[in-house]
Structure formats: structure tokens, C-alpha cells
């Protein structure tokens, strides 16, 4: 029997998990695709576009009763999940590292779940890596958000009324989001510096024209799958002192540092914020895992002694059209692993399949 996918409308998010281009490809592979009414509306993908791509419009009830595999960016709330019959499949981002209850809840309801945030960081899996796609957008958005909040220009300006110095931007964590933030801040004309604990980041930072700030003695584990590892107490002290010195000079600090499966490291202490110039801006992209700044409040913008601290990890949602397109491309590349000749085929010997399958 041909497999039926259901694309859920997200609640509180303008993005959609699958865009019409990829619906067309799934239909071409022999699958049926149901799309909840208005699911893509806020991202610029009208219901008619889905119909033209071969999807069938559906109510939420239809989706929950007829789909074999439900697709969404965020896991559906428990209320909706409770209506999804046992034995069916969900593909979403469940964050099992942070939501301890999710696996037992899904198991209790006998639902199989693939968590896209568990995709391994291998060359083969790169085309399915939703975390990287969204991080890249978030890095870009972080700079735009900072530029809007900063009471100064980013570029140097020479005008008849006087000259303006370029803004100084400090990026902490030069991974996917950090590198995109560096590139964006450079394009806007700022002077950019960046920190990271992975040795590989140095060359990438320098190739974007930014200055790499080195803290000696970082622990860098090549077997950690591209992820950073927890640092020693001695390193943390040295790093905190250097970050304080550089943050004091910066107009904007963008923090992106994450350690997989752990709370984000605190790298900008309250005391450091107190020493920054009034009007400066901190954008903390690690807010959802505790934040890199001690004062960050997740999903909130606060002002502390004149410094604005924006705590938002999911800034990709601010650019719903491109974010949906990239997410959908990643998702389609992943779904190709699960469908053979229009039918469901779960090959657990495939590393990408087994790493993402969090309940079965």
C-alpha cells in the first residue's frame, strides 16, 4: 500500500515542514500527500500551490486519522498527538536530549518517531541536516536584529557632519550560525572578532575576514562528531577573562556556543554585561538551552544597565519562506531513505535511520 504523508499546520510558527516543490517529488515517487488547510499560507505557499503539486487538502482530523507519517517542524502538542493512532510515524524535531519525557510519552502511545535534530554530522547526512540550515538563517537574522537594536551604524561613515566609526562585533562560537553571523556583519561593514574552542574554526573565521581570538589550552576532540566538548575549569577562567576584555570593546556580541546534549556554557557573565557600553546589544542564540549570557531570558528581550539582551534561539522562524524551503529540502532528502517504490521501508542498518529513530 502506498504511503500517505500528512503535513501539519504549525501552531505559533509561520514555517511549514514541506513545500509544494517537495510534495511534487514525493507524489512522483508514488506517495500520497495530505496537507492541512492553510499549512503553508504564512510562508508564502498557498493551498492551490500544494494542489497543483499533487497534494490533497485536509482538515486536521483527516490528517490525524489518514496519514501514516506526520511531518512537522515542531512536535505536535500532546493534545494532537493523543488523536494519532498507535503504530503510526512522526517526523519532527523532538529534542530528546532536552525533553526527557518525550520518548516515554511516545512509547506509551506506541508511536514511532524520527527526530531530525539527531541526524549525524556526516558528509552523507549533510543534505538532511535541518539544524545547520536553521542555524545558518539564525546567524544571519541575529546580525539584522542587532543592527536594528543598536543605536549606531554598522559601517564606517564619512559624512559632511562628521565621521562615524564602524561597529565592533564579537561572535562567540564560530560554528554554522556564528560563521553566517560573521559573514553578515562583515557585509554590513562592521569590524568582527570571533572565539571558538574548535581548532578548525580558526581558518574559517579568518577566511571570512574576521579576527580569531585564541584562548590557549582548549580541549578539542576530533571524535566528537564536529561538536565541541566541555572545557576544563582552568580554560573556562582564562576564556571568561578574555571574553570580558573583548566584550567591553564591542558594540554587539552574538553568542552561539553549544555543547551537544548539555546546557549551553555561560560565557558572558553578568559582570561582563555591566562593563559593556550602554546601547550595546547581545543576541544570545543559545537561549533555548540556557543561554551563553548569564542574564539571558529565553524568548525575551531585556535591558540590563543600558545593554539590550535578546534571547532567541529560533530566529530562523523570522524568515519563514526560505526557512521552510531549506527545511523541506532537508526533510525530503531524509524521507527518500524511508520510501521505496511508494511504500514505507525502514532500514535500520542505515546509520542515519537508526540515529534518528528515537522510539519504535
In angstroms, the CA 149 to CA 280 distance is 9
333 binds ligand NAD (CB under 6 A): no
Q: Site residues for ligand NAD, window 259-298 (CB under 6 A)?
A: 259-260, 265, 267
**If binding means CB under 6 A, how many residues of this protein chain bind ligand NAD?**
33
90 binds ligand NAD (CB under 6 A): no
Burial 320-331 (b: 16+ CB within 10 A, else e): bbbbbbbbbbbb
Enter the C-alpha cell of residue 99: 525533553
Active site residue 80: no
Active site residue 132: yes
In angstroms, the CA 244 to CA 220 distance is 22
176 binds ligand NAD (CB under 6 A): yes
- Answer yes or no: are the C-beta atoms of 98 and 75 closer than 8 Å: no
Residue number, 33 or 130, with CB nearest to ligand NAD: 130
**String marking each residue 92-131 x if it binds ligand NAD according to CB under 6 A:** -----------------------------xxx-xx--x-x
Instruction: Name which position in 72, 92, 256, 324 contacts ligand NAD (CB under 6 A).
Output: 256
Going by C-alpha positions, the residue among 16, 130, 86, 64 that lies closest to residue 359 is 86
196 binds ligand NAD (CB under 6 A): yes
Active site residue 121: yes
Residue of 38, 206, 227, 271 marked active site: 227
139 binds ligand NAD (CB under 6 A): no
19 binds ligand NAD (CB under 6 A): no
258 binds ligand NAD (CB under 6 A): yes
Provide the 3-class DSSP secondary structure of residue 302: strand
- Answer yes or no: are the C-beta atoms of 68 and 89 closer than 8 Å: yes
Alpha helices in 255-319 (DSSP H): 270-275
Going by C-alpha positions, the residue among 81, 28, 34, 39 that lies closest to residue 57 is 34
Helices (H) and strands (E) in the chain, counts: 12, 18
Residues designated catalytic: 121, 126, 129, 132, 227
For ligand NAD, the binding residues (CB under 6 A) are: 121-123, 125-126, 129, 131-132, 135, 172-178, 195-198, 200-201, 226-228, 231, 256-260, 265, 267
Amino acid at each position: 500500500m502506498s504511503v500517505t504523508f500528512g503535513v501539519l499546520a504549525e501552531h505559533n510558527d509561520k514555517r511549514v515542514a514541506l513545500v509544494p516543490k517537495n510534495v511534487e517529488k514525493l507524489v512522483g515517487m508514488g506517495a500520497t500527500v495530505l496537507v492541512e488547510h492553510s499549512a503553508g499560507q504564512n510562508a508564502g505557499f498557498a493551498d492551490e500551490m500544494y494542489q497543483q503539486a499533487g497534494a490533497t487538502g485536509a482538515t486536521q482530523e483527516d490528517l490525524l486519522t489518514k496519514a501514516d507519517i506526520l511531518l512537522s517542524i515542531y512536535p505536535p502538542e500532546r493534545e494532537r498527538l493523543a488523536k494519532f493512532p498507535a503504530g503510526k510515524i512522526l517526523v519532527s524535531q523532538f529534542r530528546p536530549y532536552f525533553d526527557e519525557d518525550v520518548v516515554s510519552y511516545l512509547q506509551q502511545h506506541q508511536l514511532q518517531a524520527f527526530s531530525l535534530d539527531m541526524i549525524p554530522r556526516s558528509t552523507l547526512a549533510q543534505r538532511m541536516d535541518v539544524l545547520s540550515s536553521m542555524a545558518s538563517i539564525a546567524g544571519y537574522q541575529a546580525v539584522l536584529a542587532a543592527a536594528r537594536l543598536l543605536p549606531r551604524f554598522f559601517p564606517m561613515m564619512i559624512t559632511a557632519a562628521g565621521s562615524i566609526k564602524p561597529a565592533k562585533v564579537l561572535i562567540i562560537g564560530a560554528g554554522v550560525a556564528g560563521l553566517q553571523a560573521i559573514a553578515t556583519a562583515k557585509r554590513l561593514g562592521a569590524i568582527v572578532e570571533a572565539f571558538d574552542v574548535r581548532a578548525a574554526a580558526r581558518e574559517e573565521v579568518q577566511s571570512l575576514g574576521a579576527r580569531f581570538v585564541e584562548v590557549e589550552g582548549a580541549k578539542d576532540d576530533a571524535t566528537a562528531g564536529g561538536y565541541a566538548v566541555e572545557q576544563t575549569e582552568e580554560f573556562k577562567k582564562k576564556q571568561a577573562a578574555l571574553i570580558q576584555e573583548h566584550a567591553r570593546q564591542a558594540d554587539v556580541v552574538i553568542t552561539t556556543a553549544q555543547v551537544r546534549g548539555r546546557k549551553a556554557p555561560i560565557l558572558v557573565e553578568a559582570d561582563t554585561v555591566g562593563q559593556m557600553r550602554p546601547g550595546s546589544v547581545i543576541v544570545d542564540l543559545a537561549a533555548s538551552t540556557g543561554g551563553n549570557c548569564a542574564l539571558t531570558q529565553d524568548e525575551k528581550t531585556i535591558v540590563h544597565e543600558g545593554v539590550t539582551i535578546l534571547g532567541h534561539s529560533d530566529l530562523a522562524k523570522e524568515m519563514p519562506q526560505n526557512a521552510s524551503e531549506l527545511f523541506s529540502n532537508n526533510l525530503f532528502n531524509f524521507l527518500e531513505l524511508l520510501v521505496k517504490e511508494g511504500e514505507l521501508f525502514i532500514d535500520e542498518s542505515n546509520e542515519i535511520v537508526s540515529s534518528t529513530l528515537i522510539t519504535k
